[in-house]
């Protein structure tokens, strides 16, 4: 009986997510039809949101560049001109607390993890997207983001999301290396690659979309097998980065996915508790990813591969939100905060919370910039000693 109930609950979850996907499509079409009409909601001015406090200009003498690969946690706008997907957010209220209140394609109310990582390394405080048409040559020399929101390690994930794959990101990286060579020559390019840092974040969409969601891979593989395939793909990606000359690579695991607002809504019942199956899958993948990186490091001379545990500090903040100044951890700030993400959180959304700094999540899946800033600082302090 327990087995039948598990299958039934998973089927209900899949149906719910499929219905959500239809809503996303419908909202995108509706949004495109009214985009040129008069705005019917007045948003608070950009300065009304709690943006990050100004700090000193980054100064760094050891890490020349930070390069980012993966999904929406690090994406700074690579999906903006991608017509095939709804996985984009280059519209308000996204970016309402970004400098000048600009919606850049970051999946947050302001900055995202890549910006804060680069800033803490003293490189720069704003990381451009590689596909940004306004990118400047000097931007290439200090790092860019190749990440694409909705992507993942598993080959099906970017196809379902209709976004840029991890393989495509590697293709861009090859182009990037050639562009840098033309700018500064081979020797300085080699220095940038060997002394710089590559940061990789992926896996959440593999579990959220491909395994438990629209991809329904749970009908084919058990979670142990699927997470093993994910870890193998992650190790392969890292090995290819190394092959292009990158020696320092930090790979961030998956957070407690069952505790994001959308999954609380879909799987958490009336109390909207964390979905334990997703949390278990996240932990299982993280354990395998850590082992895979340790084994890989032994075979790659002069490499420095660092597994970053994001699950523990993320959980710590969720369990003790008051210690970090958060009041709301179960809902996103945009709209109802239960399911809105991407095009469901748009300029026509009837309301946005007035106290975004007290919210852990911006939409039903992505954190606020304040949470990103706190989390990145915790991780930086814990792992900075691992860098050469």
306 burial (CB, 10 Å; 0-12 / 13-18 / 19+) is middle
DSSP 8-class letter at 81: T
CA nearest to 162, candidates 175, 174, 152, 172: 152
Residue 165 token pair: 């794959």
Cα(254)–Cα(251) distance, integer angstroms: 10
68 burial (CB, 10 Å; 0-12 / 13-18 / 19+) is buried
Point out the catalytic residue in the list 20, 72, 108, 282.
72
How does DSSP assign 112-148, residue by residue? -HHHHHHHHTTS-S-PPBTT-TT--HHHHHH--B---
Point out the catalytic residue in the list 75, 139, 277, 363.
363
Strand (E) or helix (H) holding 251: strand 248-252
363 as an active site residue: the answer is yes
DSSP 8-class letter at 329: E
Angle between helices 369-383 and 113-120 (to 10 degrees): 40
How does DSSP assign 158-178, residue by residue? HHHHTS--HHHHHHHHHHHHH
72 as an active site residue: the answer is yes
148 as an active site residue: the answer is no
Cα dihedral across residues 370, 373, 375, 377: positive or negative:
negative
172 burial (CB, 10 Å; 0-12 / 13-18 / 19+) is middle
Q: Which residues are part of the catalytic machinery?
A: 72, 363, 366
């Amino acid at each position: 009986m327990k087995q039948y109930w598990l299958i039934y609950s998973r089927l209900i979850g899949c149906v719910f997510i499929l219905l959500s996907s239809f809503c996303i499509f419908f909202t995108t079409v509706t949004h495109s039809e009214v985009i040129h009409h008069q705005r019917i909601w007045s948003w608070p001015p950009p300065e009304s949101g709690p943006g990050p406090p100004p700090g000193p200009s980054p100064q760094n003498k050891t890490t020349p560049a930070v390069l980012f690969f993966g999904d929406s946690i690090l994406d700074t706008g690579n999906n903006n001109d991608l017509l095939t997907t709804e996985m984009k957010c280059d519209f308000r209220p996204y970016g309402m607390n970004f400098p000048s209140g600009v919606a850049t394609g970051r999946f947050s109310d302001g900055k995202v993890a890549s910006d804060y990582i680069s800033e803490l390394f003293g490189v720069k405080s704003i990381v451009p997207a590689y596909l940004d048409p306004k990118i400047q040559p000097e931007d290439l020399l200090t790092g860019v983001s190749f990440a694409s929101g909705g992507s993942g390690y598993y080959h099906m994930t970017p196809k379902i999301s209709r976004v840029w794959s991890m393989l495509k990101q590697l293709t861009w990286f090859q182009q990037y290396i050639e562009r840098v060579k033309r700018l500064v020559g081979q020797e300085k390019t080699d220095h940038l690659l060997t002394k710089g840092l590559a940061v990789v974040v992926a896996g959440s969409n593999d579990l959220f979309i491909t395994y438990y969601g629209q991809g329904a891979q749970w009908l084919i593989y058990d979670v142990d097998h699927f997470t093993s395939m994910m870890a193998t793909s992650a190790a392969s990606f890292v090995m290819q980065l190394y092959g292009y000359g990158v020696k320092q690579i930090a790979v961030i695991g998956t957070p407690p996915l069952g505790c994001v607002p959308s999954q609380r809504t879909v799987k958490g019942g009336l109390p909207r508790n964390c979905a334990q199956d997703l949390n278990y899958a996240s932990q299982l993948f993280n354990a395998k990813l850590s082992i895979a990186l340790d084994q890989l490091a032994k075979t790659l001379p002069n490499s420095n591969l660092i597994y970053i545990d994001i699950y523990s500090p993320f959980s710590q903040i969720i369990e003790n939100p008051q210690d970090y100044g958060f009041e709301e951890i179960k809902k996103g700030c945009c709209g109802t905060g239960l399911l809105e993400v991407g095009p469901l959180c748009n300029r026509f959304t009837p309301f946005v919370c007035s106290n975004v700094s007290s919210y852990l999540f911006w939409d039903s899946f992505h954190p606020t910039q304040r949470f990103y800033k706190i989390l990145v600082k915790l991780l930086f302090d814990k792992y900075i000693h691992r860098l050469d």
